Each structure stands twice: as C-alpha cells, then as structure tokens.
Amino acid sequence: MDIEIIIRDKVVEAIEKLYSQKVDPDQIQIQNTRKDFEGDKTVVVFPFLRFSKKSPEQTGEELGNLLAAEVSEIAGFNVVKGFLNLVIDGSYWINQLNEAAGDELYGFSPVTDESELVMIEYSSPNTNKPLHLGHIRNNLLGFSISEIMKANGNKVVKTNIVNDRGIHICKSMYAWKTLGNGETPASSGKKGDHLVGEYYVKFDQLYKKEIAELVAGGMSEDEAKDKAPSIQAARDMLRKWEANDPEIRQLWENMNGWVYQGFDETYKLLGVDFDKIYYESDTYLIGRDEVVRGLDEGYFYRREDGSVWADLSAEGLDEKILLRSDGTSVYMTQDIGTAKMRYQDYDINHMIYVVGNEQNYHFQVLAILLDKLGYEWGKDLYHFSYGMVELPHGKMKSREGTVVDADDLVEEMIDVARKVSEELGKLDGYSEEEKKNIYRIVALGALKYFILKVDPRKNMLFNPEESIDFNGNTGPFIQYTYARIQSVLRKAVDSGIDIPMVAPSINCNAKEIELVKAVNRFQFVVKEAGDNHSPAIVANYVYDLVKEFNQFYHDYSIMNEPDETVRSFRLVLARTVGQTIKNGFSLLGIEVPERM
C-alpha cells in the first residue's frame, strides 16, 4: 500500500485517540519532506491545533510518538515548528522496489470490460498538401495522450478525420488538370502528398497572377478575387463534385489516393497510427442533413442569399455559417456529421479533440450546436487545445515557402543525429545498418521528447540542434542512460552473475532510497498525466529519474561493489530504473536503443 495512504489513515485514528475528534482524511496534508530536513514524508500539523489546544511542536511530538508506535513502516520522526517529518523504514522502500521489479507494466492500470471508452482525434490533415511541423506536434500529442489514457485503464480508439473534400482540394485538382501534363508520383519520383501540394502552390501562383491582371484592367481587388477564372473553375469543380460528376470524382479519387500513400509513409516514420479513419466526404452529408433538420426545427435560419446560419448571440457569441448560399458545406457542417457518426459507431464515454488553439472558438461553437440539435453528449466534448510550434530561424526547408515539411524535418533530424554521433565516435564498430537504425531512433527520440516535454498549452520554439544534444534535458541523453543501464546488465550476465528477480534486503544508503522513491513515483505520474492530458508530466518525470540514476551511478559502483548482496540489490535497482525509463518513453511514443 502507498505510504501516504497508510499515514493518512493512521493520522485520522491518532487524532481521534489523542483529542477525541473526527477529521476528514481529505483535509490531512502530507508532503514530501524538504531535502534540507531529515525524513521522507511530512504531515502538516497546524490544522490539528484547534483540536489539541497545544503548541505546534507539542502537537507534532504527540502525533509522532503515536504514529511511530503503531506504524511499522515509520522508523523515526522529528518536528520542525508545525511540520512532523516522518522517516520511513528502508524495508518499506525495498518492498516498493520489488513491487516495481516484479511488474513489467508497473504503474499501468489494466483495461477491463468495465473500462470507459475514450476516443481521441488527432492529425486531421487536408489532402491538398503534405504534413508539416504543426502536424508533427499534433500527431505526437495525440498518440501520446492515447497511450497515457490506455495506461490509466481506459479503452482507447485513436481516430483521424481526413479533410478530403472542399474548395482547397479542388484548387489542387484544377491546377493539376490544367498544368500537370499527366504527371504522377510514379512518373515524377515524388511522394504523392508532395506532388499534390506542389499543384496547390501552383494554383495560388496562377490565381494571384490573374487577380493582378484583372486589377490592372480596372477591376477592384475584391471583385478580381471573386471573378478570377481559376477560382471560378475551382468552385465549379466543387459543385460538380457534390453533384457526383464522374470525371471530377475520378480525378479526386486518383489525387487523394496519391496523398494517402504519402501520408502513410510519414505516419509510419513518426510511429503513429489510428484505429479508425473518417473522411469528410462521408460525414459532410450527415452534417448537412442535421443542419437542415435544425433549420426546420427553428434552431437555425436562412438568409436571403440562401445560406444557413446559427445565431449564437444568446450564448455570448456571434453568428456562424453552416451552409453556403450554393448549398455546399463548411468545416462546422462536417464536424457535426462526424460527431454524430462516431457516437453511432462507438459507445463513447469521453471524446477528446487534439486541435491547435487557433480552433478554440470552433470547438466552443461545435459543442453548443450539437447541444441545440439535441445531443446530450455535445457539451461534454473536450478540446485539447495546444500551442503553435515554430523554428528559431523560421524554417529549415519548405515546399510552400512558409510551411516546414514534416518529411524534410525528420530527414534533417536524422542527418543531425548522424553528424553528432560521428563527432562523438559513439557508434564506432557498428554496421551501417545498425548505425542507420540508431540514427533514426535517436533523431525521432530527440524530436518527440523536445516537443512533448513542453507544456502542450504553450507555444514553443523547436531547435533541431539543441534537441539532439547528448547532455541535458533531451531525448538522446535519456536514451543514452537507458543504453548504459543495459550495458551494465549485459556485463553482469556475461560475467556469470545471476541477477535476482527481487532485490535482497540491505541497509540502503540515502541515494539508493532516493532512486527507489523516484521509481515509486511513476505510478502517480501516470495518473497525473492522464488527469491532465499532459505528456509533459511524463517526459519531465523520466528526465528527473535519469538525473537521479546518473547521480547514483557516479557516486556508487554497481559491478565493482565487493558485497555480493549489495551488488545484487543495485543490479535489480538498475534494471527496474531501465524498465521504468522504457515504460515512460513508451507513453511518449519513443523507442529506447539497447546499445548506443
């Protein structure tokens, strides 16, 4: 049992015994003892003075004496003003270590038939361009939150909504049709998502040229933007698409197919996946039917131009368009349809949307509209709103001039990992295949950790070179510590030393106890990360654990320890720390190399 629960229960009994008063267990404050005082856990005594009618020191002494007499885990105590510092017996920490050592999934809660189902939406790309740096943070957060929710005993469905229709898709289609000369990924050697993205850029270039020509001919800029031939043609394509024109639909299927192949390569490279993918082309009609129903039932209204709107002034918001004047759908329409379809497909207890903070208003409106349409789960939708990610020098490479391409960024990271490893000479003697695999693991570990260690609600600056440093709060530093632990364990086995399954009893020194405490904290970190939907809590815990281990490793020998019992204890401790690092990093979607 957790020591804080043991202490809390005993304090309740002690207050009743000493002062004949009942106290609410939730009101008892227990903290980790400050490092400059002797002890492990501290009970705040001040709230009990109204019962004892004595000084803080006297109350603390009385409470300490009773706890030390009745709780076998308490080896001693001291009182500093109104704080009762309790020293926990070393045998308790050894038992805690063995609990962790005996469970490869220590800290994780099992998923049962009674577990709640959590659906998590992330990625949500458009099929008119490749995934970019912003998508990387989104995908890494979404995948990590999914793993954390699973580790907290939830059933999890990882889902993606692909925005595969709309005017932006038609822009790429029109540019390819008029300028592409039949170019394909196979004929060009380009990834499909990159190829289609290039035609989206070409459309923008053509459109701007047409606007300039119309303005030069005397037309206003607003009118030119509306009347330019390319935008008129793209709008016509969208109307034909919604009317199921066979030629337009075939072109759309071909180009989207190229993009999906490209997306799949990037997802695989990033190590993220999905249990269920929804497509806007399937959900927008359901959303449109819901909007029409809302119109018929008086929740929405139609303007003179035929467009349909929701008036949210009663909720302190403005008006929101739901259908354009030509009857075509907007993102909100699609999200209404997707939400309805998901709740038909799954018995969802908790729905989390991992979407950037620029969409805060969108999800506020979505929840209200679903509630208006009679869906009681509408207001329970949770928007996990995260901040933007930028590079210190604007960009490394970009296919569109402003957006940093995800594939380019990962490729650059792998190159940086290679250069750093070559400079340090850490992979001398490895085969080229082994080196490439380690470059990939280190590069992605650096990228993922650097992004996930930051409070997700904050904007962040991503520095590739800084992220791949083998020192400090970085993924490679943590991976290197894990590999070092595995090296010690291999050395022990190669030397014929049998590493026991459980740690033998020894008189632990202070550093050993601190390291066991750090391992013990993992179970609470997993829960806290789940409650807060925050991978950063896990990331920074793992870094603290690694710092604690490296301090211990610097001060005490493992393999050269002459006392066999102490050596066995330290080997079990090292193995358990390694397993905890691996489990923590698994929640972040990060691999750990056995050698480095």
Query: Which CATH class name applies to 3-88?
Result: alpha beta
pLDDT in the model for residue 330: 87
Q: What percent of the chain is modeled with pLDDT above 90? A: 87
pLDDT in the model for residue 161: 96
CA distance linking residue 42 with residue 84, whole number of Å: 5
Handedness of CA 387, 393, 395, 401 (dihedral sign): positive
Q: pLDDT (tens digit, 0 to 9) for every residue of the chain, 596 residues total?
A: 789 999 999 999 999 999 999 999 988 999 999 988 999 999 999 999 999 999 999 999 999 999 999 999 999 999 999 999 999 999 999 999 999 999 999 999 999 999 999 999 999 999 999 999 889 999 999 999 999 999 999 999 999 999 999 899 999 999 999 999 999 999 999 999 999 999 999 999 999 999 999 999 999 999 999 999 999 999 999 999 989 999 999 999 999 999 999 999 999 999 999 999 999 999 999 999 999 999 999 999 999 999 999 999 999 999 999 998 988 888 899 999 999 999 999 999 999 999 999 999 999 999 999 999 999 898 889 999 999 888 776 544 433 455 788 999 999 999 989 988 888 787 888 899 999 999 999 999 999 999 999 999 999 988 888 888 888 899 999 999 999 999 999 999 999 999 999 999 999 999 999 999 999 999 999 999 999 999 999 999 999 999 999 999 999 999 999 999 999 999 999 999 999 999 999 999 999 999 88
The beta strands (E) that lie in 430-519 are given as: 460-461
User: Within 10 Å of residue 70's Cβ, how many Cβ atoms?
Assistant: 12
Query: Does CATH place domain 406-588 in 3.40.228.10?
Result: no
Cβ(529)–Cβ(485) under 8 Å? no
pLDDT in the model for residue 393: 64
pLDDT in the model for residue 402: 58
DSSP assignment of 514-547 equals HHHHHHHTHHHHHHHHHHHT-HHHHHHHHHHHHH
Please report, for the chain, the start and end positions of each structural domain, with discontinuous segments joined by +.
3-88, 165-274, 406-588
Angle between helices 246-270 and 133-151 (to 10 degrees): 60
Handedness of CA 121, 127, 128, 132 (dihedral sign): positive
pLDDT in the model for residue 465: 80
CA distance linking residue 574 with residue 580, whole number of Å: 10
Averaged pLDDT score across all residues of the chain: 94
CA distance linking residue 79 with residue 345, whole number of Å: 59
182's CB contacts (< 8 A; 6+ apart) are: none
pLDDT in the model for residue 191: 97
The distance from CA 417 to its chain's CA centroid, rounded to whole angstroms, is 23
CA distance linking residue 35 with residue 462, whole number of Å: 34
pLDDT in the model for residue 394: 53
Note the pLDDT tens digit of each residue in 253-303: 999 999 999 999 999 999 999 999 999 999 999 999 999 999 999 999 999
Return phi, psi of residue 179, to 5°: -120, -5
